[in-house]
């Protein structure tokens, strides 16, 4: 699958999920390493006029999941991807649209993940995601582990 087709396929996957369709999010970009998502503040505003924490973690979860999914596609692997655990820090209130990005955490590459999944039918990856502030800072950040289980 070429990269554009993979992103279109990922977007269809996202929008087929009712909770995601309700978020009015879209894929903002992918450079082969980092996936970026966008969602309008109006759809995610809380009682204080800033972005709802649950929306920020949902979008960080989706972005991280999407990065794993894109790397499975690129490797030609068919697997279900589950979130196993996550740690989130909410650093500053966000009074603008949600700009979320996710990529593999640390210096690890995808090679070990792909090789492990091929060999054992199961592999784990830790993803780092964040929600940007308009001034370049960070509104919230998340570290989460994902498990891929090969489909038989």
For the chain, helix (H) and strand (E) counts, in that order, are 4, 6
* Residue 47 touching its own copies (CB under 8 A): yes
| Total length of the chain | 152
- Minimum Å distance from CB 105 to its own copies? 16
* Residue 90 touching its own copies (CB under 8 A): yes
Number of residues in contact with its own copies under rule CB under 8 A: 35
For the chain, the distance separating the N- and C-terminal CA atoms, rounded to the nearest angstrom, is 21
- Minimum Å distance from CB 132 to its own copies? 18
* Residue 80 touching its own copies (CB under 8 A): yes
Residues 6 or more apart whose Cβ sits within 8 Å of residue 129: 60, 61, 63, 64, 100, 101, 102, 103, 141, 142, 143, 144
Piece of the chain touching its own copies by CB under 8 A; list 1-9, 27-35, 80-88, 116-124 = 80-88
* Residue 122 touching its own copies (CB under 8 A): no
């Amino acid at each position: 699958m070429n990269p554009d087709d993979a992103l279109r396929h990922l977007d269809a996957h996202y929008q087929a999920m009712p909770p995601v369709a309700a978020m009015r999010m879209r894929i903002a970009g992918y450079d082969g390493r980092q996936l970026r998502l966008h969602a309008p503040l109006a759809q995610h505003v809380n009682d204080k006029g800033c972005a709802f924490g649950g929306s920020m973690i949902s979008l960080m979860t989706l972005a991280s999941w999407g990065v794993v999914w894109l790397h499975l596609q690129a490797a030609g692997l068919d697997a279900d991807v589950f979130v196993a655990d996550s740690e989130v820090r909410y650093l500053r209130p966000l009074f603008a649209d949600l700009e979320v990005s996710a990529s593999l955490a640390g210096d690890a590459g995808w090679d070990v993940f792909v090789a492990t999944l091929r060999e054992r039918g199961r592999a784990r990856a830790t993803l780092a995601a964040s929600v940007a502030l308009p001034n370049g800072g960070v509104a919230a950040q998340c570290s989460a582990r994902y498990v891929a289980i090969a489909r038989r």
